[in-house]
Structure 1
């Protein structure tokens, strides 16, 4: 008999993992379930689930439940207490306002601020069904924001009067940021700074309106003194739970936990159009103890991009902190530049990342590690197991010549000749891959390009199975580095990398780089 596991429980929602062997995001077949309360014999809810991580909504606080599902041992759990429920509609919210109606957006922001102030510590602010347009909302500690099914909390399409986060707070810590460096940025439509025990939950929608304004037309620029906002920006938080909601159309990165400790993102749906710029799905930066489970991604850039800040051009490093302890399981990456990506902003170090029981469909890369000279820091102990990839260009890659930033194509970054090992020399040590099934491979099963002065070490691959290739694939460089030759339907290639693979036939003797393309300019 299988065992159901409680993944996350709030006062009104529970997420349950139905760990069927071999299941990734979806169950192999639908399962009927029922929910009983307080030892009663008649179910209070019942239904059928198709997802490994199953969401139970509209529960009562501080209540004992029993969850029963075919083929599993019954699971008993108790919902959390709630110190009080405040309904946002009671504060005069304006519904269905136009995206350009700044008056309504400011009025709703004021109303929500009052409702938040009246929500007791440990209580819930409840946003009911309807379309609610508001300027950015800042959340606080010991609070639950509940987005009911049918509720859409969205940003206006015009940024006049939009609040800006400075690069640093009064204590010198990084607040606003852009691609790993302190920088002023517009506040996210929903954000929190230093919040502890914060929960954002429900079956409603957070909409950043990136598709409605001009945000996506200036992806790398600064306007009005600030960079683009995130969709949800959580800074220096502790014990944060994101549960069940959909978040879409972020102006830039969709969910950006920055400097957080103890964060779980469970059963979310993260969306952005495929051509929207830098709309990564989930980007933990300088964070510890992060869980991403049962999340469905379809975005315009990387689905998950794990980061740890970027060393400044003059070696500035006081804003850096490591990311350590990230677990990703039972997720579906339907589209994106990468399924799970580490870097390229990794100067603080990224350690102890586990990806298991996930499915990647149509992502350009599966597991992708990217950095370059000048970054410094290390990437260690990265594990991937029991993952299916379908229609992925490159299954596995580690690239230490990534040509990011204005100097990314300079000779000192791209040279394949040994350079001195200095503070800005990055290192990668420990990539463990096991039980990965690949369908429709386009370019290469693996490309590992290290530094001659600091090779990529301890790559261990077991049970990598290439079931089919994409007959329509067009040869192209498999990684973003200068002098990389085009590839098509190739196996595992390495240069300045140490690989231990249980199937020697997958290791290709062919080169990655074409030396004549790397002559000094």
Structure 2
């Protein structure tokens, strides 16, 4: 057993316990700070709060039957703490505290902290600034006003005076479109931390933001946290709930950490993806609990204008020690991925009751820059996932998604509109009680999936499986108990892949150029 210090500020630390467990252990870890017991929890990623600035600490973790693990760290320096109550925030859930909290943010000097103490703070949009350290204390709730008329709008694209360049602020589903400013908004922010045990509540419901959710109403719906072209930002510890649309949306940003969060939305809420890095690089997503109404994590890089114009892939994304529950896809790549997605590692995660587990969705029209490459899923456990593995190159959820160009399974000319999937690896994965299909992998005939490795994978089926379609593409009927369906793959490697309880064949293979199968 080892301790990995993930991050610390002047007032908290977050750490990872490395002992082979996934998300949580069967028994509590006992956590000691300077020799005193401070916490007992089964979680493999934990945080401690209430620390003193510029102080050295000795951390120890004990677990029955194992030797204790130790680590040392020193908290950061801190100059002053600015309590938002001193700036006029009431925290009574009635007064509009937006200006008071924003004043504290703008006034905060370097190496200092904005503290939001216990209370309910009614706000609209707050804007972060570079160098900020902002703590939401236990019991603190930033409660967003759902009245859209009170929110500023971020224009999708602003042209320069000479029409030679452009400035992108707002975005909606991969295109530069006007959107309402988010509850927490960061624009070109560097070196900022938002952390604590508090909650950001978007107060979205079918009475407000979710009503007629497919229609633009003034501008497109805000996110809960939106980071546009930011660098070195950490979001840690907080709970994010009831978001108007995507919960956390980093956009053209880099060097980001999302640690030990809880992201909660009703299962019936529309477009409430958990965490969607879009055209981002160097992103750590560690120790997060997701329960929501859409994809838990969706890694994106825009539709064809943004992909072709900026050619900015999402890359170097690390996801581990997360629990995904109830969403459409546990970890999804696409479908807006015209800039490409590469170098993604997902490991040590738990997927529960999601429609799909490992989900890749693309389609003709995303463009030649839409290349998915070096994607690895490793040491994953699933239970009650409808279809554990999905690779869908005919995804239909766009205005033109049901056209013959998108849906055709005959080979079309490969041109500047054709996306590509290269190297995928699925290793050490167990999926219990699946329902629809063990795997559904359907590549383009004119640009086959280059290579898929499945190694040490086992799938079994629920005793009473529920019928559904394995993937969102035309021409596929609802089913139960399908084995591994694979079509239009250049090289398919199956090593120790065990399917039990399926109806019919365990492997349904078509148009596979090179098949390597080992028991």
TM-score, structure 2 as length reference: 0.92
CA distance in 2, matches of 1:475, 1:147: 43
**Among 83, 90, 111, the residue aligned to 2:86:** 90
Match of 1:206 in 2: 200
**Among 297, 314, 319, the residue aligned to 1:304:** 297
**Among 25, 29, 32, the residue aligned to 1:31:** 29
- Asked if 1:340 is matched to 2:334, the reply is no
Superposition pairs for residues 280-299 of structure 1, below 5 Å?
Answer: 280-299=273-292
Match of 2:103 in 1: 114
- 8 Å CA contact 2:106, 2:129 repeated in 1: no
- 8 Å CA contact 2:273, 2:295 repeated in 1: yes
- 8 Å CA contact 1:311, 1:320 repeated in 2: no
CA distance in 1, matches of 2:120, 2:468: 45
Superposition pairs for residues 108-187 of structure 1, below 5 Å?
Answer: 108-169=97-158, 172-187=166-181
List per-residue Cα deviations over 1:261-303 (Å, max 9, x = no partner): 1000000000100000000000000000000000000011000
**Among 400, 403, 408, the residue aligned to 1:407:** 400
Q: Alpha carbons of 1:504 and 1:212: their partners in 2 closer, same or farther (altered >3 Å)?
A: closer
**Among 407, 416, 421, the residue aligned to 2:409:** 416
Quote the offset at 1:485 in angstroms: 3.6
Aligned residues between the structures: 494
CA distance in 1, matches of 2:206, 2:117: 23
- Any stretches of 5+ residues in structure 1 without a counterpart? 37-41, 99-103, 514-521
**Among 53, 59, 77, the residue aligned to 1:81:** 77
CA distance in 1, matches of 2:462, 2:483: 14
Quote the offset at 1:509 in angstroms: 5.0
- 8 Å CA contact 1:430, 1:458 repeated in 2: yes
Quote the offset at 1:35 in angstroms: 0.3
- Asked if 1:265 is matched to 2:258, the reply is yes
Secondary structure of the 1:160 match is helix
- Any stretches of 5+ residues in structure 2 without a counterpart? 500-504, 512-519
Quote the offset at 1:445 in angstroms: 1.2
List per-residue Cα deviations over 1:356-394 (Å, max 9, x = no partner): 000000011110000000002111011011100000011
- 8 Å CA contact 1:174, 1:319 repeated in 2: no
Quote the offset at 1:320 in angstroms: 4.8
- 8 Å CA contact 1:357, 1:386 repeated in 2: yes
- 8 Å CA contact 2:295, 2:328 repeated in 1: yes
Quote the offset at 1:127 in angstroms: 0.3
Q: Alpha carbons of 1:11 and 1:212: their partners in 2 closer, same or farther (altered >3 Å)?
A: farther
List per-residue Cα deviations over 1:395-450 (Å, max 9, x = no partner): 11110001121111111111111111111100001110111011111011111101
Quote the offset at 1:316 in angstroms: 7.6
Match of 1:233 in 2: 226
- 8 Å CA contact 1:181, 1:319 repeated in 2: no
- Asked if 1:197 is matched to 2:191, the reply is yes
Match of 1:360 in 2: 351
- 8 Å CA contact 2:307, 2:339 repeated in 1: no
Structure 1 stretches of 4+ moved >4 Å: 504-509
* CA RMSD, Structure 1 to Structure 2 (Å): 1.8
CA distance in 1, matches of 2:328, 2:166: 34
CA distance in 2, matches of 1:131, 1:205: 9
Q: Determine which structure has the larger strand proportion and give its number.
A: 2
- 8 Å CA contact 1:485, 1:512 repeated in 2: no
Match of 1:441 in 2: 434
CA distance in 2, matches of 1:423, 1:191: 35
Match of 2:47 in 1: 55
